[in-house]
Amino acid sequence: MSLAPEKILSDLIRINSSNPPGNETAVALYLKEHFQNAGVAVEIVEPEEGRGSFIARIGAGPKRLLYLSHSDVVPVGEGWDFEPFSGEIKEGIIYGRGALDCKDLMAAQVSAALQLIEEKTPLQGELIIAATADEEMGGRLGAGYLIEKHPELIEADYAINEGADHPIIIDGRMLYFLQVGEKGTAWCTLKAHGTSGHGSIPTLADNAVVKMSRAVSRLHNYRAEVVLIPEVEKLLRNLAELCGIKVESLGPDQVDTLLEELPLEKSFVESLRSMTRMTVSPNAIRGGSKTNIVPDYCEADIDIRILPGQDCDYVESELRLIISKDIEIEFNEYRAPTFSSSQEPFYKLMEEATLEAAGKSALCLPGISAGSTDSKFIRSSGIPAYGIGHMAEGFDPRVRTTVHGRNERTDIASLQLKTKFLKELARRYLS
């Protein structure tokens, strides 16, 4: 009999795969044992020692569906109320690092696949299970490596991954989100130059820190243009309707007014706001060496997230409207936004599988993420990818703050709902 998803998750949490250093091969070997016991051949791709990604495939046929997760977790830090790698199961809760990001998804995907094998479900195609390394540090040794060096191992028609917001309840109705895209990154460093001098006579010098402080202040007050992609417009219109807000027209000029009217948690509303515009956040500044020396150089690191249709040229043109020309702009990390259409027939299957798992009264809506997942590699290779964040009715919404934080945990009911959804989706698409 195949293991329950909660037992798999508990086992996975007990494998400390904090990145750095990673240790993802230990996770891959654990998964290998279960699939080999089920008669399934597996592969472990290890670009560096200990940094292995796991791939297994079940079924045969022309269709291919990829279930993707990552096996590394972020470091735990201090202040936990329980042992972070205990994997303890108590009163319906599974405790430990990775319980929500994202060993729960991995456990659900593995359990769904093993159940399909055990039940001898006929599949007219391949279900690919991939647990990749290094996602928390950018994915260079995991999904990025597989796409670059071994794309045939995870080539598929569609992919399911993490990435969606957790569901919310409006008027007693569970609202599930299906992530169809991610904003891109256009991180840059601003550089200000001046003339050094003695701090006792600052008027004889040209203070680079002051120049930069003016630029950073302008960036803080910058208001980006609002851009409504169709999926986000649909999301906002549906939320307004569910909240009893009448929206006759919804253009860029009406978005912020609507967001202020939505009677929803501030964190969720701000997530919605980020879906409608480029965001610019000055997050680090360096300049000066001594109290009595006027600095001749200062630099600031700016976190910029962009929407589909925006790129570095767009970012630079916007920055040049608000900062002086004598400040240099150097882009040091750029990744284009990625997007998968909600008009695909597969999207409809995801909706149907969600209702099968969560109940017919549930509702699904599309959304995009401000953050990044391994779906960026998958979409960039031409494979439509969709993110889920499914939880069961009655889940504790406070667990949202435990992702990358303290006291990470999830509930068994949510894990079983994810498993049911994934099993149903594979059955519908591949049978």
Give the pLDDT confidence of 369-381 residue by residue, as tens digits: 999 999 999 999 9
- Do 312 and 401 lie in one domain? The reply is no
- Do 305 and 352 lie in one domain? The reply is no
- Do 105 and 201 lie in one domain? The reply is no
Calpha distance 368→105 (Å, rounded): 19
397's CB contacts (< 8 A; 6+ apart) are 166, 168, 265
Tokens of 306: 């962009």
- Do 17 and 131 lie in one domain? The reply is yes
Tokens of 254: 């009406």
Write the CATH number for 165. Answer: 3.40.630.10
- Do 342 and 321 lie in one domain? The reply is no
Across the chain, what does the average pLDDT equal? 97
Give pLDDT tens digits for 61-82. Answer: 999 999 999 999 999 999 999 9
Write the CATH number for 279. Answer: 3.30.70.360
The yes-or-no verdict on residue 2 having pLDDT over 90 is: no
Contact yes or no for 51/106 (Cβ under 8 A): no
- Do 105 and 198 lie in one domain? The reply is no
Give pLDDT tens digits for 156-172. Answer: 999 999 999 999 999 88
Tokens of 363: 């509702």
Give the pLDDT mean for 254-278.
Answer: 96
Q: So what's the pLDDT on residue 1? A: 66
Question: Whole-prediction pTM value?
Answer: 0.94
The yes-or-no verdict on residue 323 having pLDDT over 70 is: yes
Residue with tokens 């698409």: 429
- Do 268 and 164 lie in one domain? The reply is no
Q: So what's the pLDDT on residue 431? A: 86
Structural domain ending residue among the three candidates 303, 319, 335 = 335
- Do 30 and 174 lie in one domain? The reply is yes
The yes-or-no verdict on residue 272 having pLDDT over 80 is: yes
- Do 162 and 304 lie in one domain? The reply is no
- Do 108 and 243 lie in one domain? The reply is no
367's CB contacts (< 8 A; 6+ apart) are 164, 165, 177, 178, 179, 180, 231, 232, 235, 275
Listed residue (429, 414, 401, 428) closest to 108, CA to CA: 414
Query: SS in 3 state form for the chain?
Result: CCCCHHHHHHHHHCCCCECCCCCHHHHHHHHHHHHHHCCCCEEEECCCCCCCEEEEEECCCCEEEEEEEECCECCCCCCCCCCCCCCCEECCEEECCCCCCCHHHHHHHHHHHHHHHHCCCCCCEEEEEEEECCHHHCCCCCHHHHHHHCHHHCCCCEEEECCCCCCEEECCEEEEEEEEEECEEEEEEEEEECECEECCCHHHCECHHHHHHHHHHHHHCCCCCECCCHHHHHHHHHHHHHCCCCCCCCCHHHHHHHHHHCCCCHHHHHHHHHCCECEEEEEEEEECCCCCEECCEEEEEEEEEECCCCCHHHHHHHHHCCCCCCCEEEEEEEECCEECCCCCHHHHHHHHHHHHHHCCCCEEEEEEECCCCCHHHHHHCCCCEEECCCCCCCCCHHHHHHCCCCCCEEEHHHHHHHHHHHHHHHHHHHC
- Do 279 and 186 lie in one domain? The reply is yes
Calpha distance 95→412 (Å, rounded): 10
Question: Which residue segment(s) compose the domain that 99 sits in?
Answer: 5-180+338-430
> If pLDDT is split at 50, 70 and 90, which confidence band does 271 have?
very high
Count of domains observed in the chain: 2
- Do 291 and 315 lie in one domain? The reply is yes
Give pLDDT tens digits for 286-313. Answer: 999 999 999 999 999 999 999 999 999 9
The yes-or-no verdict on residue 174 having pLDDT over 90 is: yes
202's CB contacts (< 8 A; 6+ apart) are 294
Structural domain ending residue among the three candidates 312, 335, 358 = 335
Q: So what's the pLDDT on residue 292? A: 98
> If pLDDT is split at 50, 70 and 90, which confidence band does 9 have?
very high
Calpha distance 132→145 (Å, rounded): 10
Structural domain ending residue among the three candidates 276, 311, 335 = 335
Give pLDDT tens digits for 402-415. Answer: 999 999 999 999 99
Give pLDDT tens digits for 11-58. Answer: 999 999 999 999 999 999 999 999 999 999 999 999 999 999 999 999
